Chains A and B, each alone.
Chain A
Amino acid sequence: MIRWNEFTKGIVKENPVLILLLGLCPLLAVSATAVNSLGMGIAVLFVLVGSNLVVSLFRKFIPDGVRIPVFIIIISTFVTVTDYLMAAYYPPLHKSLGVFVPLIVVNCIILGRAEVFAYRNNLFYSLLDALGMGLGFTVVITIIGMIRELLGSGTVFGFGNFVSYPALIMILPPGGFITIGFLIGALNWYRQKYK
């Protein structure tokens, strides 16, 4: 009996971004275009899966008192790997994400999952949890990126020309705040109506 809900909860019910409001900084800062958002989402997914697996693998050996520093070292290892891989294979993406790649290390989602889930569960469920949470983050950040890019420059993933008079504000910083405000507002409205 596999508990598939460990996987699906991260995408919908306990979505790390919309419900728990974690990891806001990269969410707003890099979501001006859909490509950047997707790149950031995949980077976070990779670090989350890696750190959850390692934490879960060594959970019996990590002393309780120093677990947070140990988690941070594990996470920063994966972040460094991501940083260098991205710089080697996707230099334009690495350049436009800039300081936000090393900053994945302080993304609360990752440390939160290590502490709440991976430290207490076996390897397989930690993998499912990381995949679910990571996908939840990737989906939301990509949607925000698509909305902002569509309204702000009239393209999606750099293709097409859907809006004839794009509103520049959407790809500027204020657009990020307003988009996510509307998304959470819509979600609240939906929950109040159908509960």
Chain B
Amino acid sequence: MEEVNLLGIFISALLINNILLIRFLGLCSFFGVSSSIKSSLGMSAAVFFVMTMASIVSWILYHCVLIPLQLEFLRTATFIIVIASLVQLEEIFMKKFFPKLYKALGVFLPLVTTNCAILAVAFLNIDYNFSFIRGLIYTWGVASGYTIAILLFASIRERVELAPVPEALKGYPISFFIAGLMSLSFLGFKGLFGL
């Protein structure tokens, strides 16, 4: 992973290892909020916001606190608490200073806490031994990948609403098939730029 440049990290996180369709992280919200384009836009904005903050804070905590104190085994507990409290803090902060943005994100912020994609990115940044900048680029790539996938998925689902789907496959099953086909098309990016 060392010789891969920053653009490579970004593209890889965005398309080749798309967090939702190839990596299978954050699926609960993927199926939950993607019934309309508007709510998926809100969710991806919230994810973008929280993921950036979470990976910055957890990277600093891990490298500046946990490693010097040899407390690496506490990382699971630390990261989840950091993320949960970050979400709370951001909610308070945004309510006070950006009431418009707060209103738009509103319901999605608390949902983000249980989104495994956020925690996973914090872990992956550590597991891949990314430096701070690389970790940040990777995080943005993942968040953009999330946005692309969920927007495409929501648009397709809105159309499928009108399609004649067999009775037993209505609802979740057909959504899973759509996700499967999208995942198949994202597999096509494999090998792009030799990554």
Residues on A lying within 8 angstroms of B by beta carbon are 21-22, 24-25, 28-29, 68-69, 72-73, 76-77, 79-80, 83-84, 98-99, 102-103, 105-108, 111, 169, 172-178, 180-182, 184-186, 188-189, 192
Contacts and interface: CB of A to CB of B under 8 A. Distances in A.
A108 B28 contact: yes
8 contacts: A73-B77, A103-B25, A105-B119, A181-B173, A184-B172, A184-B176, A189-B167, A192-B167
B162 to A, nearest CB: 20
Interface string B63-87: 0000000000111110011001000
Contact of A188 (B27, B173, B187): B173
Contacts of B183: 173-174, 177
Contacts of B84: 68-69, 72
Given A28-B24, A108-B114, A177 B176 contact: yes
Contact of B77 (A76, A108, A169): A76
Contacts, number: 113
A99 B181 CA distance: 25
B180 A25 contact: no
Nearest to B75: A102
Q: Which 9 residue pairs are nearest across A and B when measured between Cβ atoms?
A: A181-B176, A177-B180, A189-B168, A185-B173, A29-B24, A76-B77, A178-B180, A174-B184, A24-B27
A188 B28 contact: no
Q: Which of B26, B80, B114, B123 has the most CB of A within 10 A?
A: B80
Contact of A176 (B24, B25, B28, B127): B24
A118 B75 CA distance: 26
A172 B23 CA distance: 11
Interface in B16-40: 21-28, 31
Taking chain B's interface residues, is the majority helix, strand, or loop, or is none over half, making it mixed?
helix
B120 interface: yes
Contacts of B123: 99, 102-103
Given A24-B31, A25-B24, A178 B114 contact: no
Interface string B153-195: 0000000000000011111111111011101100100000000
Contacts of A84: 73
B124 interface: yes
A178 to B, nearest CB: 4
B57 interface: no
B116 interface: yes
Nearest to B116: A106
A115 to B, nearest CB: 12
Contacts of B124: 99
Contacts of B175: 181
B57 to A, nearest CB: 17
Contacts of A108: 28, 114
B173 A182 contact: yes
Contacts of B80: 72, 76, 105-106
Contacts of A111: 114
B180 A79 contact: no
Contacts of A72: 80-81, 84
Nearest to B127: A99
Given A76-B76, A177-B177, A184-B172, 6 more contacts: A73-B81, A76-B77, A83-B76, A185-B168, A185-B173, A188-B167
